[in-house]
Structure 1
Amino acid sequence: MSSGILYGLSAYVLWGLFPLFFKQLQAAAATEVVLHRMVWSLVFVLIVLAALRRFAWLADVRRNPALLGKFAVSAVLLAANWLTYIWAVNNGHVLDASLGYFILPLVNVALGFVFLHERPRKAQWVAFALAASGVLWMALQTGRMPWIALLLALSFGFYGLMRKVAVLGALEGMSLETMLLAPLALAALLWGNHTGQWPAHDSHTWLFFVLSGPVTAIPLLLFAAGARRVPLSTMGFLQYITPSILALMGVFLYGETFDGPRAVGFVLIWVALALYSAEGLWAGRRAAAAKATEPRAA
């Protein structure tokens, strides 16, 4: 249990610190950064697969075109999420990125209801309504929808939905997604270099391009290790570490404004998350207590 919490905590803290890494790549366009991230992520996961001698699952994938199709969709959603996030970080929208990942758990509730026929409890619906009110408030007061936050939440929410119905382990799933994305990314990089679309970069930028592979994969592997060792409710609480770090960095490190409509919208969403988390904890304890009092078979 304690090691699982440490794995999960490490993953969420690393995800929260991502702006420090991707700010080092401001010399490159967000599209180019994403293309490099695809290629170098594949290089890294292939090294890990080789070290673990874990390639047998590829035979099952080849015999299952439907699974391959689902992972093609999840790969596109993942690429869209990466592109939106990197553009947001490198264009002064770290707070919007934070908002997106605060909204994400409630987006997951809505997607589960629509696509998986899950039935949220009353308090979860109230939390969802509060969060929606926060988003609507910001849209009305600022004159624009928080598109970056919504794109991040929806792209990663649908990505999670696809990963739920297209089951593979964390390492195998990421490996398959990068196997589908990396050839196209490499072709785009080569074409861009040939036509001069991508500028020449110094050694500092190239170092961070290469490091984007392990930086992408390591938190995911830590998350998977943590999720296997601790209850889902515990991981649910830990997930708020990432957007909290992003919000603090956006305000105190990058000087983004946090007042007026944005502050009110954030407060509504934080209240929604507090209600959602408290209700989940209460429901989990009730279920555990009910199970403990069930008569056992002789």
Structure 2
Amino acid sequence: MNQSKYIFAAIVTFLLWGFFSFGLRPIATYPPLDILFFRLYISVLFLVTINVCFRQNKIKKDWKLFSSLEKKKKKRLISLVIGGSLILMTNWLSYIIVMNNISVQAASLSYLVCPIITTLLSFILLHDHLTKVKWIAIIISFIACIILSIGHFVDLMYSLIVATSFALYIIIQRSLNMFDSFNLLMTQLFVVSLIMLPFAFVFLGEIPTETIFYQCILMIVILFTIIPMFLNNFALKGIDSSTVGILIYLNPITNFLLAIFYYHEKVSFLQSIGYLLIFLAIIVFNSKTILKLCRAKK
């Protein structure tokens, strides 16, 4: 099978996410909760419209599958959907705070360490087996985080909240992978939009009147949420998870390069050492996959 179109879709997906700052930074003066509420409810509007108009067969198929399950399993899946949706909102809100109120570097760090944190949480929660190489990568990452925390402890904590929340979301998604991922996202966002509706009425500030706010929200919803979701679903049909595991780093690396060369954020000597150790940990963590891909090209 020719994988080029699937690999291209994956590359575009992760590069798009790498430019997420272009949607968030221009509205950094707005409260994070306002940005979250508008992103959530406009995303729900778009996703429900797309699914109802163009993906009814997928909805019916998933509903039929859910209806066929025994009562105990239905309750468990409902709990996972609700839990996953709340964790996703934690991730969205913390990422907005990190990107707009801390630094683009900190946002980049979140997704550099996220695959490693996901593996560690899978070991703790699901008792997945960890190889010695994975443990070495985890130890290197831990040392890097200690170095990065010097003088920037709060920044690091926010980064780890983003990374840990997304790692937990990924783990929950594994238990829900029997369903169409686009339908699943729509359901989770719809559920959490109902849960958060009372909070939106209480905490939402004045309705923004500036055009730039709505332009950025639409950019976030369409360019950084819906389109990447479609492309990611398509890519996963034609390439294995190990290839995706390598390509996913295009997102934080792009973000990191933008932080340094576009937003001109400063990097201290200690931070440089910390980031170098993070990149070393990533190479060690993915060494088996890298060697496999290199051999496949020969």
TM-score by length of structure 1 reads 0.87
1:173 maps onto 2:184 in alignment: yes
Residue 11 of structure 1 aligns to which amino acid in structure 2? T
Larger Rg: 1 or 2?
Answer: 1
Tell me the secondary structure at the aligned position of residue 55 of structure 1: helix
* Structure 1 stretches lacking a partner, 5+ long: 289-298
Residue matched to 1:265: 274
Q: Distance in 2 between matches of 1:86 and 1:42?
A: 18
Residue 144 of structure 1 aligns to which amino acid in structure 2? F
Deviation digits for residues 214-267 of structure 1, max 9, x if unmatched?
231221221121122112111111011001011111111112111222111111
Residue 200 of structure 1 aligns to which amino acid in structure 2? P
Residue matched to 1:148: 158
Q: Does the aligned pair in 2 maintain the 1:38–1:185 contact within 8 Å? A: no
Q: Return 232-241 or 183-192, whichever deviates more.
A: 183-192
1:55 maps onto 2:59 in alignment: yes
Which of 127, 142, 153 aligns to 1:132? It is 142
Q: Does the aligned pair in 2 maintain the 1:4–1:227 contact within 8 Å? A: yes
1:123 maps onto 2:138 in alignment: no
Q: Distance in 2 between matches of 1:198 and 1:65?
A: 39
Q: Distance in 2 between matches of 1:105 and 1:200?
A: 36
* Structure 2 stretches lacking a partner, 5+ long: none
Q: Does the aligned pair in 2 maintain the 1:39–1:186 contact within 8 Å? A: no
Tell me the secondary structure at the aligned position of residue 36 of structure 1: helix
Q: Distance in 2 between matches of 1:190 and 1:203?
A: 22
- Matching of residues 6-155 of structure 1 within 5 Å: 6-50=8-52, 51-53=54-56, 54-56=58-60, 57-58=62-63, 60-61=65-66, 64-139=74-149, 141-142=150-151, 144=153, 146-155=156-165
1:234 maps onto 2:234 in alignment: no
When the two chains are superposed, the root-mean-square deviation of aligned CA atoms in Å is: 2.2
Percent identity over paired residues: 20
Residue 7 of structure 2 aligns to which amino acid in structure 1? I
Q: Distance in 2 between matches of 1:138 and 1:106?
A: 16
Residue 208 of structure 2 aligns to which amino acid in structure 1? A
Residue matched to 1:205: 213
TM-score by length of structure 2 reads 0.87
Tell me the secondary structure at the aligned position of residue 239 of structure 2: coil
Residue 206 of structure 2 aligns to which amino acid in structure 1? W
> Quick one: structure 1 residues 96 and 143, their matched pair in 2 at CA, closer, same or farther if it must change by over 3 Å?
closer
Task: Name the count of aligned residue pairs.
Answer: 283
